[in-house]
């Protein structure tokens, strides 16, 4: 989840100045996929790997601004099938294990022993999955808007739970589907997003994308329409993952939390997040001694929410200060 990663002027300068990428790569990860990777900041700095939301959201220059460019080597990449990765909108060989393997390709290609993970929404899901698969390759986790990939979370968002708060927007999402198919909207949209008619795919991509976008932020304006190519890639990839329960066992990320409990973690969670309600963040943090859960008041889900953005910058600046103190 998490389509919104755009700029928001209400952050009032709390973000770091935008840094241009000093390196860009197109990595062949097999299965016909090439993934876009970029690096910005300090080439000798502490490596932080940014995991975007969706699945299918892609990265943006805005995401570089959470990291002090003098301290961090920020690594952003577009996951399979989205952004500048190719082929666009492809779900062939596109699963959570494939994305975990891609992160390992990035890590080895860039010569990194280990990385700090920074991810929100689906990016938080992928960060947890990668860390649990490769705990020795992770120095810590910074998570935002936690999504654990469970059936209950999908039922909340696509089964009418969130629709109780936004009945008008829910109706716009539900009504393109015939009444007889509304018992499983993920499956109903899948049928249309993966039809042979590309035009039909595009027509159903827009309401899929707009439903999530409309609920993402309390203070960020919803977008009523998105570019057709972006909407199609986002909707197809996200729907593909949700049809397959994110390619995770039910409850897997909580079940395997013990594999990463030695690592430090910070969770920045909007108190009024309607896309990924705070219960998941609470469950993840409960009993994890090294995890600092920060509930952010008057905030929703989007990375661009003012208080969310400010807190994430604060977290990254705190880590940078601790690193500098240790080097003295």
pLDDT (tens digit, 9 = 90+) per residue, 182-191? 999 999 999 9
* pLDDT value at 6 more than 50: no
pLDDT score recorded for residue 224: 58
For the chain, the domain total comes to 2
Asked whether the beta carbons of 278 and 198 are under 8 A apart, the reply is: no
pLDDT score recorded for residue 218: 80
pLDDT score recorded for residue 226: 80
* pLDDT value at 223 more than 70: no
Residues 257 and 224 grouped into a single domain: no
Rounded distance between C-alpha atoms, residue 160 and residue 16, angstroms: 39
pLDDT score recorded for residue 219: 62
Rounded distance between C-alpha atoms, residue 72 and residue 45, angstroms: 5
Long-range contact set of residues 252-259: C-beta below 8 Å, sequence gap at least 24: 252/129, 252/149, 253/125, 253/128, 253/129, 253/132, 253/148, 253/149, 253/284, 254/148, 254/283, 254/284, 256/132, 257/132, 257/284, 257/288, 259/131, 259/132, 259/135
Domain annotation covers residue 317: yes
Angle at 211 between CA 97 and CA 305, to 5 degrees: 80
Of the candidates 245, 263, 287, which is a domain's last residue?
245
Residues 171 and 193 grouped into a single domain: yes
Residues 162 and 97 grouped into a single domain: no
pLDDT score recorded for residue 217: 85
Residue with tokens 């998490």: 2
The tens digit of pLDDT for each residue in 267-309 reads 999 999 999 999 999 999 999 999 999 999 999 999 999 999 9
Query: Which residues are CB-neighbours of 6 under 8 A, at least 6 positions away?
Result: 60, 62, 220, 304
Indicate the average pLDDT of the chain. 94
Q: How confident is the model at residue 3 (pLDDT cuts 50, 70, 90)?
A: low
Q: How confident is the model at residue 169 (pLDDT cuts 50, 70, 90)?
A: very high
Residues 67 and 106 grouped into a single domain: yes
Of the candidates 245, 276, 311, which is a domain's last residue?
245
pTM given for the model: 0.95
Q: How confident is the model at residue 12 (pLDDT cuts 50, 70, 90)?
A: very low
DSSP-derived secondary structure letter, 262: T
Residues 264 and 286 grouped into a single domain: yes
Residues 41 and 124 grouped into a single domain: yes
Residues 72 and 112 grouped into a single domain: yes
- What is the domain range of residue 289? 9-150+246-327
Residues 136 and 187 grouped into a single domain: no
Residues 122 and 164 grouped into a single domain: no
* pLDDT value at 159 more than 90: yes
CATH number for the domain that contains residue 284: 3.40.50.1820
Domain annotation covers residue 4: no
Query: Which residues are CB-neighbours of 39 under 8 A, at least 6 positions away?
Result: 21, 22, 23, 24, 73, 74, 75, 110
Q: Catalytic positions, please?
A: 121, 273, 301
């Amino acid at each position: 989840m998490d389509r919104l990663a755009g700029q928001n002027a209400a952050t009032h300068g709390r973000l770091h100045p935008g840094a241009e990428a000093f390196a860009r790569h197109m990595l062949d990860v097999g299965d016909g996929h090439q993934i876009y990777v970029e690096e910005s900041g300090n080439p000798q700095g502490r490596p932080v790997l940014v995991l975007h939301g969706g699945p299918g959201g892609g990265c943006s220059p805005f995401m570089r601004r959470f990291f002090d460019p003098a301290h961090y080597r920020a690594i952003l990449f577009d996951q399979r099938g989205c952004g500048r990765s190719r082929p666009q909108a492809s779900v062939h060989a596109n699963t959570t294990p494939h994305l975990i393997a891609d992160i390992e390709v990035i890590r080895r290609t860039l010569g990194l022993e280990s990385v700090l993970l920074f991810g929100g929404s689906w990016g938080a899901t992928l960060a947890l999955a990668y860390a649990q698969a490769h705990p020795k390759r992770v120095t810590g986790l910074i998570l935002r808007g936690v999504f654990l990939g469970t059936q209950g979370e999908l039922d909340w968002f696509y089964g009418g739970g969130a629709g109780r708060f936004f009945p008008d927007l829910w109706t716009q999402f539900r009504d393109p589907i015939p009444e007889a198919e509304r018992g499983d909207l993920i499956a109903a949209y899948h049928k249309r997003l993966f039809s042979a008619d590309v035009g039909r795919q595009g027509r159903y991509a827009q309401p899929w994308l707009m439903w999530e976008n409309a609920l993402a932020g309390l203070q960020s304006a919803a977008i009523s329409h998105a570019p057709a190519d972006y909407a199609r890639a986002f909707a197809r990839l996200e729907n593909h993952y949700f049809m397959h329960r994110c390619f995770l066992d039910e409850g897997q990320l909580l079940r395997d939390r013990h594999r990463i409990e030695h690592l430090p973690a910070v969770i920045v969670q909007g108190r009024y997040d309607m896309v990924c309600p705070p219960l998941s963040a609470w469950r993840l943090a409960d009993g994890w001694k090294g995890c600092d859960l920060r509930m952010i008041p008057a905030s929703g889900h989007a990375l661009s929410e003012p208080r969310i953005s400010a807190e994430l910058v604060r977290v990254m600046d705190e880590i940078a200060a601790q690193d500098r103190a240790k080097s003295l």
